[in-house]
Amino acid sequence: MENPHSPSQNSIDGGHRTSLTNHHPVTPSTLSSSSVDAVENKKSMKKDDCGSEAKTKPFDICTPKPSGGVSVLKPSLFAVNRGKRNEMKQSSKEIVLLRPGMVLLKGYISITDQVKIVKVCRELGLGDGGFYQPDYDDKTTLHLKMMCLGKNWDPQTNKYVDQRPSDGSVPPKIPPEFLTLVHSALEDSHSVTRLSNSKPPFTFLPDICIVNFYSQKGRLGLHQDKAESKPSLSAGLPVVSFSIGNSAEFLYGDGRDVDKANKVVLESGDVDKANKVVLESGDVLIFGGKARNVFHGVSAIKPDSSPISLITDTNLRNPGRLNLTFRQY
- Binding site listing for Fe cation: 223, 225, 296
Report how far residue 294's alpha carbon sits from residue 304's, in angstroms, rounded to the nearest whole number.
Answer: 29
Of 228, 227, 221, 256, nearest in space to 157 by CA: 227
CB distance 202 to 284 below 8 Å: no
Contacts of 218 (CB under 8 A, 6+ apart): 49, 50, 143, 144, 212, 248, 298, 301, 321
Report how far residue 187's alpha carbon sits from residue 167's, in angstroms, rounded to the nearest whole number.
Answer: 38
Contacts of 291 (CB under 8 A, 6+ apart): 99, 100, 101, 102, 195
311: left (phi over 0), alpha (psi -120 to 50) or beta: alpha
Report how far residue 279's alpha carbon sits from residue 287's, in angstroms, rounded to the nearest whole number.
Answer: 16
Instruction: Assign 258 to helix, strand or coil.
Output: helix
Counted residue by residue, the chain has a size of 329
DSSP code, position 95: E
166: left (phi over 0), alpha (psi -120 to 50) or beta: alpha
CB distance 268 to 305 below 8 Å: yes
Annotated binding-site residues read 223, 225, 296
CB distance 65 to 253 below 8 Å: no
CB distance 248 to 238 below 8 Å: no
